[in-house]
Amino acid sequence: MTALPFLDNPPRFLFFTGKGGVGKTSLACATAVRLTGAGRRVLLVSTDPASNVGQVFGATIGNTITAIPDVPLLSALEIDPQQAADAYRAQIIDPVRGLLPTAEVDAMTEQLSGACTTEIASFNEFTSLLADPQATADYDHVLFDTAPTGHTIRLLQLPGEWTTYLSDGKGDVSCLGPVAGLDRLRHDYRGALEALTDPSRTRLVLVARPQRSALGEAGRTYAELLELGMSDAHLVVNGGMPHDAAGDPLAAAVESREAIALQDLPANLRPLPRTTIPLLPFNTVGLGALRSLLDAAAPPPPDTGSATSATVPDDFAVLHSLVDGIEADGPSLVMCMGKGGVGKTTVAAAVALELARRGHEVLLSTTDPAAHLTETLQADVEHLTVSRIDPEHAITQYRERVMAGKGSALDDAGRAVLAEDLKSPCTDEVAVFQQFSHLVFQSRRKFVVLDTAPTGHTLLLLDATGSYHREITRQMSEGTRYTTPLMRLQDPHQTKVLLITLAETTPVQEAEELQGDLARAGITPYAWVVNNSLAAAAPSSAFLQARARAELPSLARVAELCGRVAIVPMLAREPVGTAALSALTQQSATEAQLAHAP
C-alpha cells in the first residue's frame, strides 16, 4: 500500500471528508475493499444523512452492522437518522408511559419530533463507535464516510460542545432527555473527543477534486478541524483529468485549469502528504470499479456502450427555458436541492443572475454552511442581493430575543437557568429555521433563489418546517386564515423546486429518493437540472466519449422521473463570475460552449 500515502500505516479510525461530490464515498468504499484485500477486518460507517454506501456495493445496508456479501472481512453501517431518532425517542418516552399524564407524554413526544433530536440521536451512535472499544472490537479499522463538509464540521464539533454543555449546564433537560442519562452521555462524548484528537488512533483524509472551489473548501475544513485537535491529516486529490494525447479542446482546457488550481493550493494544505487519483472513464459503482480506483492494474469494468453515441434526449431543455417558466409565474421561491457537489450553488447563481438581468428584484441566499455564493458571483449585480443564513449570527440573535422576551419575566435565578438552556447546540435548529422562514415569506414580493445545504441536511430543515406547521395548525381556531412556510413550499405557484443532479448513478438515485421525500411532504419538484454533462458537451476524445456514454442510463432514468428537465454541458472553464454564469443560461448548449471558450 506504499503507493497510496494516505494508507501508509493507517490508524484504527479513518475519516473521509470534504466538499460534496468530490468522491468521499467512492474513496472510502475503495479503501475498505483494499484493506480487506490485505487481510484487515474493516467496518465502514456512513454518517451522511443521505448515505449511498449501499448503492455503491449494490447491497441493502441499514442502521445495524451488515456484512457485505461479496467482500469478505467487510461490514458496513449506515446511521439512519430517522431510525436512530425513533429509537432515541422510545428510550426516553417509553419508561414514563403510564407514569405521567397523557398530555405530558404528548408534549415530550412533540418536543422530541424535531431535527435536533434526529441529529443528537445519530450522533449518539457515532460517538459510541469512537468511545466504546467493545463496539468495534471485531474490526482492525473503522472508516467513516462523512456528510459533506459543513455538516461534518458541525458533527465533529459536537463532542467538545456537548462535553462543555453537560459540564456547565444547570438548566432544564432540553432535547437531551432525562437528567439521569447525562452522566453516561458525558462519558461517551468525552471519549469520542479523545479518540478524534489522538493521531495514533484517528487520521483525517481530506478529499478534493483538483478544482479551486473544492481545494479551497478542503483548506477551510482542515483549518477548522485542526482547531479541534485533529492533527494527523492527509490530502487526496481525486478525479484529475488524464492527459489527452489526441488534443480534445475540452479535455485540454479542463486539464489546464486543474493544474492551475493545484499550483494555487491553499497554504495550509501544501505540507500535507498528498495522494493523487486520476479520473476514470466509468462510474465507481460495483467492486470492479472500486478496485480500479486505487489500483491501475486492476481490470476495469466493461464499456457496455462502446458502440453507442452519447445523445441527449430530445425533450431535454436548456436552463434558459426553465428561467422563462419561473419568470412567468412572478415573484416566487426557487429552491435548488440535491446531493452535495452536483452544482446547486452554480445553478442557483445562474438562475438568480438571469432573473436580475431581466430587471427583476432577486434575493440569492443559501442554507448551506459550506457554500460561498460571493466567490461564485465575484461581482455586484444590479437588482441582485446576496445573503446567507449564518448559524452563529442566527443563534446569537435568537438567544438575545428569548432573553429579552421570556427572560424579562423571570427572576435572576430563572434567567440563569434559561441562559444555560440556550447554550445547548440544539438551539441551532430553531434559530436557523426562523431565518429560513423569513426568506420564504420575502418571496411574496421578489424572487428568492435559495441554494440549499446537501440533501440530508435540507430534509432536516424541512422537518422543522413541518413541525412548525403542525404546531401553528393546533394553535389556530377553526376558520382562522393563516399561511405557514410549509404551505408556501407546497404551492407550485409560490415555490419552484429544482432538483440538481449529475448524469451519474448515485446522484440520480439520491435525487429520486429526495423527490419521494418531498412528495410525502406534499411538495412536487418543478424541474430537474442535469449539470456538467459530457453527453451535452459532445467531446471528441475517446476517454471523454466513454465518460459520456456512461451517462446515458442515468439520463434515461431522469427522463422517466420528471417531465421537465434541463441539461447543462460540461464547460471548458469553471462557471465562476458573472460572465461565465450568464453563459449557462444561453439559448443552447452550443452557445454556452462558445460563450465560455477559453
> Kindly report the CA angle at 114 between 109 and 116, in degrees rounded to 5?
115
- How buried is residue 297: exposed, middle or buried, by Cβ count under 10 Å (0-12/13-18/19+)? exposed
H or E stretch at 413: helix 412-421
Contact status, residue 573 vs residue 580, Cβ threshold 8 Å: yes
Number of H helices, E strands in the chain: 23, 15
H or E stretch at 110: helix 102-111
CA-nearest of 94, 93, 97, 147 to 122 is: 147
- How buried is residue 13: exposed, middle or buried, by Cβ count under 10 Å (0-12/13-18/19+)? buried
Contact status, residue 145 vs residue 205, Cβ threshold 8 Å: no
Contact status, residue 281 vs residue 251, Cβ threshold 8 Å: no
DSSP β-bridge partners for residue 236: 207, 275
What is the C-alpha separation between 81 and 382, in angstroms, rounded?
Answer: 42
Neighbouring CB atoms inside 10 A of 496's CB total 22
- How buried is residue 592: exposed, middle or buried, by Cβ count under 10 Å (0-12/13-18/19+)? buried
Q: Which residues contact 3 (CB under 8 A, 6 or more apart)?
A: none
Contact status, residue 437 vs residue 468, Cβ threshold 8 Å: yes
Joined grid coordinates for residue 272: 500535507
Residue with cell 464540521: 153
Catalytic residue set:
21, 23-26, 48, 506
Residue ranges of the alpha helices (H) in 197-272? 212-228, 249-263
Neighbouring CB atoms inside 10 A of 420's CB total 16
